[in-house]
Amino acid sequence: MSERPVAPDRRRSSVGSTASGGGAGPNDPGGAGRRSRTVVSVAVVDSLVGARLRLHVDGVAAGGACVARHEGRVVFVRHALPGERVLAVVTEDRERYLRADAVEIEDASPDRVPAPCPYATPGRCGGCDWQHATGVAQRRLKAEVIAQQFARIAGLDLDGTVGPLTVEELPGGLLGWRSRITFAVDAAGRPGLHRHRSHDLEHVASCPLGVVGVGDTPALARSWPGQTGIEAVRGDGPEVTLLAHRPGPGRQARGRRPPDRVSVVEGPPEVRHTVLGRPYTVAAGGFWQVHPAAADAFAQALLDALAPQPGERVVDLYAGSGAFTVVLADAVGPSGSVIGVESAAGAVADAERNLADRPWARIQRARVDAGLVAGLVAEVGPPDLVVLDPPRAGAGADVLRALTAAGPRAIGYVSCDPATLARDVAAAVGAGWRLAGLRAFDAFPMTAHVECVATLRPETHPDRADHSP
């Protein structure tokens, strides 16, 4: 529901094109990523950007906004909560939807709290989505989003499939959990954090999400000319490593920046972590779960769900520095085997070092795809268990079909994106498997991000006993 807006004074161009579509992408408001194209028509239409709308906010949407309606169009409203009546300023006007920031809360949700961070307000830092909600409400909203994604993308009713989902809290609270933050650096060398959907930076004095030494790194008070980012990283110890990001060589498609060159500026080049009591050493610039309690929680969830047995064969895809590979190797013991697959050379080197005492586990440098899965099965035989933990894009339907065809007794899928997880679960279900379990963890408090651990099992498995719960 909405009132008519105050007439906006801005207008937008609608650009027709024979080739590459409309204007710059949502993360490219300055047009830095535009490529040349043939403009066949230019129409000027009214835009609501800048208009103030009175909105009744309905449910939550993926990505840290809530949903409202204005004259039949969906409005994605940030800084709001379901059930609230707000005054919101339109920040983006698209053909089928609007984006807006709630700037005045006329009827507040009981879940609302004052944001602890002074930068977490409309138009300022875009790093957090839910600073204005209690922790309980944040986790409830994330559970709702996961359920929505599974219903919409996989056609699965989670309540009916695995029972009501709760997002589990990790120890440590809502603040002071980020063990790694990359601050962007502007053309003048000043570090900061990006505003929401913008290249502009908020020059924060500190970030309360960071652990001590990371969120309040002295690097924020320094100038970093010629760099694209400055990253502060801490392992289990008190030492903090600073990494400089410089523009990488070459060009990327669609105006994207090539990957940065990353080098240590100060602090130890390697950091130490533990998972379920086991020690790991990882390059400071390498991959590790950002929340200090996350690797333990996910590894234990995998053990609980899959119950790996001595002597079993396990494949650990997207293995990173071996966080799960080591734990799985200990579970199957020397009579079993674990093969980890990872594409990044540095992570492979770290994983090899972390696995050195377990010769029945090895790491293979390769890109995971359906062909690699088929090749592994041909080389070492069908696995009993598969673990996968892909980046946000997910593994893809082809990989899931290849994994289910390999015939393991179960698959444990760790995912930081419920949408791509739902897509991949749907592929497994299409291959005659079922979603047998789903846990979710609040590994990114104050943000809209959430981590899931899904268990997939074949509908029936004639050959092998399944020891897991």
Ligand X SMILES: C[S@@+](CC[C@H](N)C(=O)[O-])C[C@H]1O[C@@H](n2cnc3c(N)ncnc32)[C@H](O)[C@@H]1O
What positions carry a catalytic annotation? 416
Q: Which of 128, 158, 347, 373 touches ligand X (CB under 6 A)?
A: 347
* 350 lies in the site for ligand X, by CB under 6 A: no
* 162 lies in the site for ligand X, by CB under 6 A: no
Q: Where is 18: in which H helix or E strand? A: none
Return the range that interacts with ligand X (CB under 6 A); candidates 13-21, 57-65, 320-328, 458-466.
320-328
- Which single residue is written with the structure tokens 């339907």? 397
**Residue 323 · residue 295 · CB < 8 Å:** yes
Q: Between 214 and 363, whose beta carbon lies closer to ligand X?
A: 363
Tell me the sheet residues that pair with 114. none
* 391 lies in the site for ligand X, by CB under 6 A: yes
* 318 lies in the site for ligand X, by CB under 6 A: yes
Q: How many residues does the chain have?
A: 469
Per-position DSSP letters for 296-333, written without gaps between them:
HHHHHHHHHHH---TT-EEEEES-TTTHHHHHHHHHH-
Q: Between 214 and 326, whose beta carbon lies closer to ligand X?
A: 326
CB of 295 to ligand X, least distance (A): 6
Q: Between 87 and 344, whose beta carbon lies closer to ligand X?
A: 344
* 344 lies in the site for ligand X, by CB under 6 A: yes
Amino acid (1-letter code) at residue 12: R
Distance, CA of 287 to CA of 109 (rounded, Å): 38
x/- mask, ligand X, residues 367-386, rule CB under 6 A, reads xx------------------
415 token code pair: 């995912």
- Using CA atoms of 392, 398, 400, 401 in order, give the dihedral in degrees to the nearest 10: 170
Q: Between 165 and 341, whose beta carbon lies closer to ligand X?
A: 341
Q: Between 185 and 282, whose beta carbon lies closer to ligand X?
A: 282
* 320 lies in the site for ligand X, by CB under 6 A: yes
- 311 backbone φψ class: left, alpha, beta (φ>0; ψ -120 to 50): left
* 175 lies in the site for ligand X, by CB under 6 A: no
CB of 293 to ligand X, least distance (A): 13
Q: Between 191 and 320, whose beta carbon lies closer to ligand X?
A: 320
Q: Which of 101, 270, 389, 451 touches ligand X (CB under 6 A)?
A: 389
Per-residue CA distances from 99 to 66, 76, 448 (Å): 10, 5, 16
* 100 lies in the site for ligand X, by CB under 6 A: no
Q: Which of 14, 182, 281, 343 touches ligand X (CB under 6 A)?
A: 343
Q: Which of 88, 341, 426, 427 touches ligand X (CB under 6 A)?
A: 341
* 433 lies in the site for ligand X, by CB under 6 A: no
Q: Which of 65, 323, 419, 429 touches ligand X (CB under 6 A)?
A: 323
- 123 backbone φψ class: left, alpha, beta (φ>0; ψ -120 to 50): left
x/- mask, ligand X, residues 277-316, rule CB under 6 A, reads ----------xxx-----x---------------------
CB of 318 to ligand X, least distance (A): 3
Q: Between 78 and 358, whose beta carbon lies closer to ligand X?
A: 358
Q: Where is 194: in which H helix or E strand? A: strand 191-194
Q: Which of 105, 219, 319, 421 touches ligand X (CB under 6 A)?
A: 319
CB closest to ligand X, residue no: 320
Strands 39-46 and 11-17 turn out to be antiparallel
- Count of residues that interact with ligand X, criterion CB under 6 A: 20
- Give the E-state strand segments of 47-117 in sequence order: 52-56, 66-70, 73-78, 85-93, 97-107
Distance, CA of 429 to CA of 406 (rounded, Å): 15
CA angle 424, 428, 432 (to 5 degrees): 160
Dihedral sign, CA of 279, 284, 287, 289? positive
Distance, CA of 264 to CA of 239 (rounded, Å): 13
Residues that bind ligand X in the complex, under the rule CB under 6 A: 287-289, 295, 318-321, 323-324, 341-344, 347, 367-368, 389-391
